[in-house]
Amino acid sequence: MSTDITPSNAPRMKRPKRGVPEGLWLRCPECHAAVFRKDVDRRLGTCPECDHHFYVSAMDRIVQVLDEGTFEEWDADLRPTDPLEFADKKSYRERLVDEQERTGLLDAALTGTGMIRARRVAFAVTDSAFIMGSMGSVVGEKLTRLAERATTLRASPTSARPLPLIIISGSGGGARMHEGILSLMQMAKVSAALARYHDAGGLFISVLTNPTMGGVAASFASLGDVVFAEPRALIGFAGPRTIKATIGIELPDGFQTSEFLLEHGFIDRIVPRAKLKSEIARVIDYCGI
């Protein structure tokens, strides 16, 4: 798996993708309209009636955001282990095999390099279909290596600046409980690598998609020089139900949505999926890289 990841050569899913049922038609969870799947696909996985943003897999995201055929995966062979021999309803070892077969991914992140409108970038995406996109050791290690590699590479032969870094997060799980402290330490590890990247003059654009929660929101996803979010994404640390149950008061309307967080200064811009590629290219140019 190196340069040409496309939906057609992606591994076949055993079960339907989360959030996007199979079939010619699908029901939009937002406006409840029955919409033609082809129309949704043509609009990069958004509802033609209400612009609801459906889940997209990491591989589809690469196709949507990077120039065709430019993705080269880094650290493709990193695979998770089960150091704690953790078991809940089933053993973590078994769960990993099931998730790998279902999603075609070895873990919840893909990292590498590619071009966005002919600008070279270091690129990562996390996939919420793989154990909620949670950050275990492999996700943390891949993102750390990505930031470190971007720090050493130049944006162009004539540039003194590091390669721009784009991370699209779709992580509802935060840290991965199956890996305990080894998962928690990834927050500090990735953040430290991003700090060194920042000191070297790098431009990090963080793109938050539905959902971005827990230890992911509390580490790399919030550390972008520029933070974009897709419309109406759920973004926060603890979930709204947990917060409500803990503090016992009504939460404000739209709490933990992109729109709420834009209003409160936590993110810089809401970018619809169709404009994401152009907006990233525009910010890279604006920052003079």
Which residues contact Zn ion by CB under 5 A? 28, 30-31, 47, 49-50, 52
Nearer to Zn ion, 50 or 153 (CB): 50
Nearer to Zn ion, 11 or 29 (CB): 29
Question: CB 95 → Zn ion: shortest distance, Å?
Answer: 32
Pairwise CA distance, residues 36 & 31, whole Å: 14
Nearer to Zn ion, 49 or 72 (CB): 49
Question: Within 13 Å and on the Cβ side, how many CA atoms surround 63?
Answer: 16
By CB atoms closer than 10 A (0-12, 13-18, 19+), residue 281 is middle
The beta-strand segments (E) located in 25-118 are: 25-27, 34-36, 72-73, 109-116
Question: CB 50 → Zn ion: shortest distance, Å?
Answer: 3
Question: CB 255 → Zn ion: shortest distance, Å?
Answer: 22
- Type of residue at 186: Q
Nearer to Zn ion, 31 or 251 (CB): 31
- Type of residue at 6: T
Question: CB 35 → Zn ion: shortest distance, Å?
Answer: 7
Q: How far is CA 171 from CA 18, 58, 101, 115, 126, in A?
A: 13, 11, 19, 24, 6
Question: CB 140 → Zn ion: shortest distance, Å?
Answer: 35
Dig out the tokens for 118 from the structure: 């002919």
Name the pairing type of β-strands 204-212 and 226-229: parallel
Nearer to Zn ion, 35 or 124 (CB): 35
